[in-house]
């Protein structure tokens, strides 16, 4: 999550308004385990270390058993905050693996994950343990560390990643650029320059396997692929970030038909309420592509849309980015987790207002996706 680290540091917190273990059999449906619920008996783990001494690139390289591996802390789990419920790291990874296996045509599909929320490093060990695809993962912060929203220089890790999309193309270079320009990270000279942000307040973390460093984000023209953007309880900053990311991806040649956004309550709202919904409407997205940030619906989408079986032209790539808030069962929830978004000026600028729904979606997650063939 992003939460207040001090009066001047605002972290990504939970607020109201994103081959395989052989023991998982195709078709097996992993049930939500609620492993990201606070448990005061779970140890928080050691303080995150700085990245390797050379600090180039300025992220910590994840490896099994090292300081960034959450599985070394017994019973600790991270996860993504949703609108209806959270989804823990183990469930997220196992449901993805089960969907890949069930689809039958995805064992070599490259996967790129960006976790910009608090405790994002805790997502790595579960994905690594369950999935053998070519894969690249970068996180804003360690498994036991909060991520921060923009303050003095107007940038955070997610903005740095979005800006890097216009400069870099491969997954590792994008991760490196984002870590370099994260003003809370360990980069010596972020762009823009620090303006009061604390060096090392975040420790970005990186992992890749099976050639994941070289996965390209510039995809072939006409490719059927998958983009999932997640902001479970978005702040105004998350609204602006995902809106810009959608615009950037469309400009890079991605099809609106291949982009799905799990965003708060999942409703299209009128101008002045949500930049994400306005951007999607302006670019003629189907309303089915703006979904309630609901873990059950995410699982349905993974199985039925991201990795569907029996297609003539199955998708060939997945990009997943989570903004806003994360959870960790060793850390108590903050006020915004209990009570919804903070007021404007706190927790990333205040909540995204819930506006009217002129498209008449109601619960948009009840609407099916356009079929793929």
The answer to whether residue 16 sits within a structural domain is: no
Query: Does the pLDDT value for residue 181 go beyond 90?
Result: yes
Question: Considering its fold, how many domains does the chain have in total?
Answer: 1
CA 41, chain centre distance (Å): 27
Answer yes or no: is pLDDT of 165 > 80. yes
78-80/259-263 β-pairing: unpaired
This prediction has a pTM of 0.89
CB neighbours of residue 353 within 10 Å = 13
pLDDT at 65 over 50: yes
* Over residues 306-314, mean pLDDT: 93
Task: Examine the pLDDT at 286 and tell me if it is beyond 70.
Answer: yes
pLDDT higher at 351 or 110 = 110
Question: 342 pLDDT exceeds 70?
Answer: no
Alpha-carbon gap, residue 22 to 56, rounded angstroms: 36
In 3D space, the residue among 120, 118, 121, 113 whose CA is nearest the CA of residue 137 turns out to be 113
Rounded distance, CA 253 to CA 360, Å? Answer: 30
Q: What is the mean pLDDT of residues 160-175?
A: 96
CA dist., res. 212 & res. 209, Å (int): 5
Mean pLDDT of 339-354: 48
Any domain includes 193: yes
Give the residue-averaged pLDDT of 255-269. 88
In a domain, 21, yes or no: no
Phi/psi of residue 325, each to 5°? -120, 150
Helix (H, G, I), strand (E, B) or coil at 126: helix
Q: Does residue 346 register a pLDDT over 80? A: no
Question: Which residues touch 56 (CB under 8 Å, ≥6 apart)?
Answer: none
Range of 221's domain? Answer: 60-366
Q: What percent of the chain has pLDDT over 90?
A: 66
Mean pLDDT score of the chain: 84
**How many helices (H) and strands (E) in the chain?**
8, 11
Q: Is residue 81 part of a domain?
A: yes
Residue 181, token pair as written in the block: 């320009």
pLDDT at 341: 42
- Domain annotation covers residue 6: no
Q: What is the pLDDT of residue 44?
A: 96
Note the pLDDT of residue 2.
Answer: 53
Q: Is the pLDDT of residue 158 over 50?
A: yes
In a domain, 55, yes or no: no
Tens digits of residue pLDDT in 19-44: 222 222 333 334 446 799 999 999 99
Amino acid 209: pLDDT = 98
Summarize pLDDT for 79-119 with one digit per residue, the tens: 999 888 899 999 999 999 999 999 999 999 999 999 999 99
Average pLDDT, integer, range 354-363:
53
53 within domain boundaries: no
Residue 152 lies in a domain: yes
Query: Can you give the pLDDT at residue 334?
Result: 61
Q: Please give the structure tokens belonging to residue 248.
A: 């950037």
Rounded mean pLDDT of 293-309? 92
Pick the closest to residue 330 from 78, 111, 107 (CA basis). Answer: 78
pLDDT given for residue 7 in this prediction: 32
pLDDT-derived band at 343 (thresholds 50, 70, 90) equals very low
Per-residue pLDDT, 337: 46
Task: Give the pLDDT confidence of 197-229 residue by residue, as tens digits.
Answer: 999 999 999 999 999 999 999 999 999 999 999
Contact 185, 179 (CB under 8 A): yes
User: In whole angstroms, how large is the CA radius of gyration of the chain?
Assistant: 19
Mean pLDDT of 2-12: 47
């Amino acid at each position: 999550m992003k939460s207040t680290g001090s009066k001047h540091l605002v972290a990504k917190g939970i607020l109201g308004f994103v081959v395989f273990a052989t023991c998982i059999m195709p078709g097996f449906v992993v049930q939500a385990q609620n492993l990201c619920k606070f448990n005061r008996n779970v140890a928080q783990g050691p303080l995150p270390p700085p990245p390797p001494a050379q600090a180039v690139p300025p992220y910590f390289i994840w490896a099994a058993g090292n300081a960034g591996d959450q599985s070394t802390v017994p019973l600790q789990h991270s996860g993504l905050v949703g609108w209806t419920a959270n989804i823990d790291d183990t469930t997220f990874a196992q449901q993805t693996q089960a969907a890949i296996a069930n689809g039958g045509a995805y064992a070599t599909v490259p996967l790129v994950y960006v976790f910009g929320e608090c405790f994002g490093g805790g997502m790595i060990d579960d994905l690594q343990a369950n999935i053998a695809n070519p894969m690249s993962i970068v996180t804003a912060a360690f498994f036991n560390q909060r991520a921060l929203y923009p303050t003095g220089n107007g940038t955070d890790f997610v903005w740095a990643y979005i800006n890097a999309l216009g400069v870099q193309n491969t997954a590792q270079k994008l991760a490196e650029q984002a870590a370099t320009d994260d003003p809370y990270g360990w980069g010596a000279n972020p762009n823009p320059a620090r303006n009061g942000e604390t060096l090392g307040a975040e420790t970005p973390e990186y992992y890749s396997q099976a050639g994941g460093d070289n996965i390209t984000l510039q995809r072939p023209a006409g490719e059927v692929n998958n983009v999932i953007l997640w902001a479970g309880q978005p702040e105004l900053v998350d609204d602006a970030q995902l809106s810009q990311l959608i615009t950037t991806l469309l400009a890079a040649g991605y099809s609106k038909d291949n982009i799905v956004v799990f965003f708060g309550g999942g409703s299209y709202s009128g101008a002045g309420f949500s930049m994400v919904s306005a951007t999607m409407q302006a670019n003629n997205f189907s309303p089915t592509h703006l979904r309630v940030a609901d873990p059950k619906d995410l699982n349905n989408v993974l199985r039925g849309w991201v990795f569907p079986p029996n297609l003539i032209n199955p998708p060939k790539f997945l990009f997943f980015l989570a903004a806003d808030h994360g959870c960790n069962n060793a850390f108590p929830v903050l006020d915004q987790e209990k009570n919804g978004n903070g007021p404007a000026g706190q927790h990333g600028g205040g909540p995204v207002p819930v506006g009217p729904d002129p498209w008449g979606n109601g619960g948009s997650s009840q609407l099916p996706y356009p079929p793929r063939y």
